Structure formats: C-alpha cells, structure tokens
A and B are shown apart, each in its own frame.
Chain A
Amino acid sequence: MTVSNNVGDWLDIGPVSQISPGNARTLPVRGGEEIAIFHTLDNQFYALVNKCPHKQGPLSQGIVHGNVVACPLHNWNISLKTGEALGSDEGCVPTIPLKVDAGRIYLLRDAVIPARTTRKAA
C-alpha cells in the first residue's frame, strides 16, 4: 500500500486492525525518517521515529510494556508518549502526533513529510 498526496492535515495510514496489541509496525518515508507505530496492550496507539536515541536501534522491534518500548539493541526504555529515554538514560526520539478516528490511524501530515529544505536536498 502506498500513501501519497493525501489532502488535509492528517495522513490516513489504514485501519487499526493492521497492528495487533503489543506490536509495532513500520512506515518508511521517502526522504525522511522511518516511523514506528505502536499498539500497546491497553489499546493505545503511538508513533515515533523508528530510531533509539542511544544507537539508532529499531524501536519497532522492541518489547512493548505499558506505554514503554524496550529497545531491542540495549534495552533502553523509551516512553511511547514522550519519546524520552526513561531511567538513568538520557535522550529523546521525536514523536509524531497520531489520532485514531473511526477505526483508522492518522498521522499529522506535517510531522511525517520531510521539511521543504530536506526535500530540495533530496
């Protein structure tokens, strides 16, 4: 499935049923950072850049517990709500505003599409 040229502020990336609870799936962005979309066990959805602030591990592959994902590389715990590393670790990964409406997941367009300058460079 390809998403492109959606009108409006929000990008529709498909039904919530595509991600089972406790899992995450990825959304590559041409010219931008890959996004990981999480579905927690208490049925919340979050979107983060798919890179741990520590060593860029793919957060989408970590174990999700509560509103936290444990990075698969070195077990840093990253808050899905804020993108911040928890505990004694320091660092933060960008979050992407997400909403669920009528069973579909939407991401804030401006946060997904690379900024104009990036696009020119690419």
Chain B
Amino acid sequence: MEFQDGISPAAENEENIFMPPHDDREHLVVVGNGMAGCRAVEELLARDAGRYRVTIFGAEPYVNYNRIMLSPVLAGEKTFDDIIINSRQWYDDNGIELIAGDPVMAIDRAGRTVTSQSGRTVGYDKLLIATGSDPFIIPVPGKDLPGVISFRDMKDVDTMLEAAANGGGAVVIGGGLLGLEAAHGLTLRGMKVTVIHLMPTLMERQLDEAAGWLLKTALEERGQTILTGADTAEIYGDGKVEGVRLKDGREIPANLVVMAVGIRPSVALAREAGLDIGRGIKVDDHMVTSDPDILAVGECVEHDGNVYGLVAPLWDMCRSLADGLTDQHTGYRGSVTSTKLKVAGLDVFSAGDFSGGEGCEDIVLRDASRGVYKRVIVRDDRIVGAVLYGDTADGGWYFDLLRKGDDVSEIRDLLIFGQAFASGGGQADPKAAVAALSDDAEICGCNGVSKGQVVACVEAGNGTLDAVRATCKASASCGSCTGLVETLLAVTLGDDYSGERATKTVCKCTSFGHDDVRREIVAQGMKSIPEIMQKLHWSTPDGCSSCRPALNYYLLCALPGDYEDDQQSRFVNERMHANIQKDGTYSVVPRMWGGLTNPRELRAIADVVEKYNAPMVKVTGGQRLDIFGIRKEDLPAVWADLNAAGMVSGHAYGKSLRTVKTCVGSEWCRFGTQDSTGLGVKIERMTWGSWMPHKFKIAASGCPRNCAEATIKDFGVVCVDSGYELHVGGNGGIHVRATDLLCKVATEQEALDYCAAFIQLYREEARYLERTAPWIERVGVDYVKSRIVDDEEGREALRARFLFSQSFSQEDPWARRAAGEDAELHQHLAEVRPMEFAA
C-alpha cells in the first residue's frame, strides 16, 4: 500500500465528517482490518467492551481473516471460509463499524480525522494504525508484467489458483518461509515450481546450513527445483510473464512469478502524517506513537529498534496496547520469536540466535535414518537458539527455556534428547514433559494460545479436542500442535480423559495417527478414500503407498459388504492375487485346507507346472505347494485350471488369513489327544478370505509336543486331554515371539468361537501392518483376555461381526479373474514390433 501517488482528499467539506448523534463514547478508529488491528480490538473488548465506539477501515473487501493461513488455502487444505477469524456477525454483535475495501489515504492530526479513498472523512479520539507491511518487490526489469505477484493477501492467492489451473511453470523468488509455503502450495496445485533464492541456504534467517540442506532435499523430492545462490537479472515476457533470467544467464520459463523476498513495514500513511518513523512507525512500550492520540501495532511498528514479521509478537503487542487503552499500562517489552514452517510432512523449527560466535556452544544430534537434525545453542549456561528439523516435538520446550533464560547446566547432557529425557531423569514420559511446561508457554502458534489458556479452557468443561478447538482455538488452525493439546487434555483431566494421544502419524500425508483415522471413519461415517483425505485434511492429492492401503483396509473392515475394494490401493500381490518375485513373475499357492490334499489336486498342480513351464514348485512352510515363475498374462489361465480341480486362492499374498497348519492328531498319531487336523480344516473354512491388518497364521497341534508349531502363530491351538489351549500373538519372523496363553476351552466349538472373536478384535483394533505380536505387546494380553475371555457378550458380538464380514469375503478371487474380471491387469496394452521383427 503506497499512498504517495494516490489522491488525498482533505476534509474540505465539514458535513462529510461522520458523527452519529447518540454516542458520546470516545471514538477509536482503526486503520487496518488485518490480524493486528482486529486482535487489538478483540483484546480491548475483552477488557472493557463498552468503553470505545470502534470503527475499522480495511483496504481489502473482506472481513478479518487469518493471513498466515493463506498458505493452507493455496495448498487446498483450507478454504477462505475456514480462515475467517471474525465474521460479519462479530462486527455487528460488538457494534463495530467495518469499512472494508476503502483504504485510509490521509490523517489530519490537527483536526483529528482520517479520510478514505472514497472520500469519507471520520473523526477520532484515538487512532490505531495497523497497516501491516508491504511485500518488497525487487527492482528488476519486468517486475510490473502481468503474472508477477506477491504473496500477501487473498487476491494474490486467487491469482495463483487461476495460474495453477492452466498448469505450466511457476517461479518463486525468495526461499524464505513465505516463498517456500507458496512453492509448496503451487506444487500441490500441479505447477512445475522453481524456487530462486539469493542466499546459499534456504530460510537462512531461521535455519543453519545443515537444516537448510535437509529442507532443500525434502522439497526437491516433492518435485520442486531449488536454485540457491541464484540472482535474478530480469523477468522477461511480451505483454505477460514468460520466464525469469538469472544473472548467470540461465532462463526458467514460467507463466507465474511470485515475489516473496521479504516485507517492509507499511509506513507511508504515518510518514505523511508527520509521525516519527525509523524502520517502522516508532512506538513506546504502550504502542503509542509520537502523537499521544495515535497508536500503532503489528508489522508496521518499530519498537526498541526491532521490527517483527511474525505473528507471535503481534499478540504480545496487542495485549499491551489494550492494557494501555484501558488504563492498566503493563507495557510491551519486545518479543523473542520462533518459527515453524507450515508445509505438511516437513517439521522445521527455529528460534533465537544460531549464528554461533564467541562463547557459544553447539549441541547437535543427527539421526540420518529418521532424517532428524537438532541443534541447540548454549551460551553462559542458557539456551540462546535452537534449530530442529525432522523432529520438532521439543521446539516449544526449548523456546520456553530460551525466553525465560533458565540455567540449563544441570540438564546439559540430556538437553538435546528433549524434555522427556532431560527433566524426567531418563524416563521418557511425554505427559510429564508437557505438564512441566510453564503456564505462559505457547502451545498454539497460529492462534497465540498459551498452555495456561488451554488448561483453563479444559477446566471450564471442554473435555475433548473438538471442544478445545471450538473454544480457545488451540490447534484449530494448522493442527501441528494437536498432540500437545491432547496431552494437555490428558494431563488436566487425568483418568477422565478418554482420548488417546496421536503418537505416530499414518504417513507423511497426514497429521493423524492410525487410531484417529479409524475413529473418525466410524464417527463421521466416511465411505471412501477420497472422502477421508478431504475430511481429514490430507496434504497430498491422493495419498501415498503407505496410507492408501491402510485406508482401504480400514474402510473394508468398517463397512463389510458396503465398501468397494479399491484396487489402486492394493499392494501388487493383493492386486494380482499372487506373489511377485524378483524377476517380475509370480508364484501361485492354491489353498490346501489344513494342509490336506488329494490326487486330483496334485495332478492339477502337476499339469499347471508343465503347461506353463513353471521352473520350480516347492513345499511351503505352511503345508502347501508354491508354483513359481508364472507370468502375469498367464495367471488367469492357471487359476482356471486350478479352479477346475476344486482349488481356490490360498491368499499366500495377502494381509489376510494365510494358512492353518496342522499335525495329524488323534486320527493317526499315537500321542494325539484331539482331532487337530479336523479342527484345523474347520478353522480354515471359517476364516479364509478375511482381510486383516497384516498376514495372519494359524496352527492346530494335537498334543503338547506341538508339531504344528502353534506357539509361534498369530492364533494357535494346542490340544490336551481335557480340551484346547488357545494361544495368541506368536511370531516366527525376525523377532521370534512365543504366544501368550489366552485361555483353555473344553469344546471344539468354543475353540472356533474364540478364534473368530480374537480375529475380529485384531481386525478392528490393530493398526494396519501391525502383526498380532506387536499389537498384543502394545495393548497387553490382559486387555485381550478382558475382551475375549471375560466378556462373554462382547466375545459373541465380535464373533458375530466376524462371521457377518466373512459372508462377503469368502468368494474366490481367482475364479472371478479366471472368468475375465479385471482382464486389463493381466494383458499387455499392445505390442510393438518394429519392421525387422514383424515377419
């Protein structure tokens, strides 16, 4: 907003002055309807709602919105409506007059009036200038071409979305916070984005070289081109932007150029009015300018030599300002700032001074496999700076120590491992860590909510995450502090809090954990993968190879018979109903119930092996035969031949019931106590075809000699004279785990019923790709017992749900493919035969 060249209609006509007759309260006029201006008014209303009559002028034709959330709007994670802070209703309810889309052009200090672009003149008793900042436009040729914009307001976002709809290239000049968020959004919107950054390190004001490099690598993985140390020579184009030329001669074609090299306090209006100006409008501790009736707040001010371009200092200023206006004069003492990058899946945090220097000591932790880099800078036993990449959970704690200037010499050795280790005597308890935060520690940076405010909000009866978000706004914006808020709920409410903390997200596409996603699928009645991604704010357009299969399973489990399996969300083996091998061919395992077979089946297998030249056939560990080397084109024909002999898919490829291994039991074995073979066949007939969080293996042994190795299976039965011991949670893989004894039952039918109930509990509650062994270690075998053994009604309900689900899943997938379904998965598109080969 540069006003020098604009018309400046003075208040020549006295009748123009707006003075409602029946209000003799002091009149506060606010210039700027942005985050600072409105927050100041909010703070004022909270202290003394009736004291001032308030008029707000805004240059943009909107109500007050959350400017820092423009990035998620650009990225498609939020809509404009989502980021409105105060709706029209708020202005009306508080008797505030909003004059939007009509910027103030002049201040007449002698007459105590302001005049807007449209010529409206309004008198004031107190004037608050909150004009924010202007984007800095680098003075290169072509800077005024159509298609060159900044990233400052909703209009810029609209321009970017328009450009993105046509695809093509975009250049973002400036690799700072704002530039990278713009680049991220444009990439998600399908543009080929190049970031040009003058300095060698991205976000060099917030990050050191190591973290900058990690960030650069991560962004390049997402398809962006990052050019550091790149100086823009000109923006070229005929009538509109066509590209950017660098000083080294490189040219980057683009139909959109976003300038995000920095901001400058917007001081033109104040300068014209003759106020003291330094880098910004100079204010004292009560945000009063050189004119005692004019105050200023936000990015346009200079306080104690500092100007700020982040949101947190704004909140501090607004509190001091409102205190001053209501005669409480607390005074603003300046802010220490911290930064978090709002790019989903990238955790970047920085605070304080990390330039090093004399007397500074660096403590660094790197974990390459997790992509984590942490650096804390200590001077005179106090933290002066912190840079975190990949794991920013302790950002708030370091920032808190930094602001308070606490002596950290006692915890120096453990400092870098985070609060849980450093202050918990080696015990990693996230709750204790959060409980130890001070009341004024900031929890939600987006909305400026402190720990004390969240706790007060919870204590006032808001016992759920949603209630907290609706009331004090903590974690209601970008959501990155959701875990902290949930922990505060748990700490504050103790046993009364039913929620669970999201410790690990499903993947980098989301901030939700597995349990959150499953809960929300059921709670919101979600029915498709795109719906989940939309409602839970997925940061990628269509997920990734981690979350798609998980969501597909959760929907299958939640909606048996109702949900249509999404083939594109299946790993290759489940999509092809065979096991891919290293040469790209497949292996085929037909089901042999309980490990039993007969001449007809064996003949059919032998015929298939010969007919399709299978190079190998092998007896598996699960008591069946595996035919190797089948080409994907031949699979349907192989299955047709096997079906003809009465065999169905063995699901050797699935996160599903694999096999039920048996020994010969009382039928033949001189030690056998029960018919373990018969029981195994019955169990397999009941459970085959069911999809699970992971593969699931069962075995039934006829005596405690346990020849079927039932005690390393997911579910194992060991027959004894008096009945059946039921074992769960065994694993023979990388980490061998013997089963836990679930219980002992007397009859075969009970063994079957408990098996069905256990499988359903696992299906409903384990996380995708979690075998029964880690699941049981997570929830505890006592929990499983309480659900399966102690709760008869619950067990019966679980069993019924399993059998209901099975009524939809026991259809041989091979038969459908053999009949021609999904033929395109097996056939080549075409074949190219160049002339020489055509004959």
List A residues at the B interface (Cβ < 8 Å). 1-5, 11, 13-14, 18-23, 25-32, 35, 37, 40-42, 55-58, 61-68, 70, 72-73, 75, 77, 79, 81, 86-87, 112-114, 119, 122
Contact = CB atoms under 8 A, between A and B. Distances in A.
B347 to A, nearest CB: 16
Contact of B221 (A18, A73, A86, A122): A86
Interface in B643-664: none
Interface string B606-627: 0000000000000000000000
A18 B580 contact: no
A79 B222 CA distance: 9
Nearest to A5: B835
Interface in B133-169: none
B28 to A, nearest CB: 50
A41 B829 contact: no
Q: Which of B221, B549, B827, B832 has the most CB of A within 10 A?
A: B832
Interface string B281-322: 000000000000000000000000000000000000000000
B797 interface: no
A89 to B, nearest CB: 10
Nearest to A35: B832
A32 B568 CA distance: 28
Contacts of A28: 828, 831-832
A23 B541 CA distance: 16
B576 A61 contact: yes
Given A41-B542, A62-B572, A63-B568, A14 B221 contact: no
Given A18-B829, A27-B831, A30-B832, A65 B544 contact: yes
A8 to B, nearest CB: 15
Interface range on chain B: under 10, 10 to 19, 20 to 34, or 35 or more? 35 or more
Interface of B: 190, 221, 223, 540-545, 548-549, 567-573, 575-576, 580, 582-584, 632, 824-825, 827-838
A20 B828 contact: no
A19 B549 CA distance: 21
A65 B548 contact: yes
B830 A5 contact: no
B830 A14 contact: yes
Q: Report, nearest first, the 6 A-B pairs whose CB atoms are least far apart.
A: A22-B568, A70-B545, A72-B572, A30-B837, A25-B829, A63-B545
A63 B549 contact: yes
Contacts of A2: 830-831, 833
16 contacts: A1-B830, A14-B829, A26-B829, A35-B832, A42-B542, A56-B583, A61-B576, A61-B584, A62-B572, A66-B541, A72-B571, A73-B582, A81-B223, A112-B832, A114-B834, A119-B836
A27 B828 contact: yes
B525 to A, nearest CB: 23
Nearest to B368: A88
A40 B568 CA distance: 10
A56 B544 CA distance: 21
Contacts of A112: 832
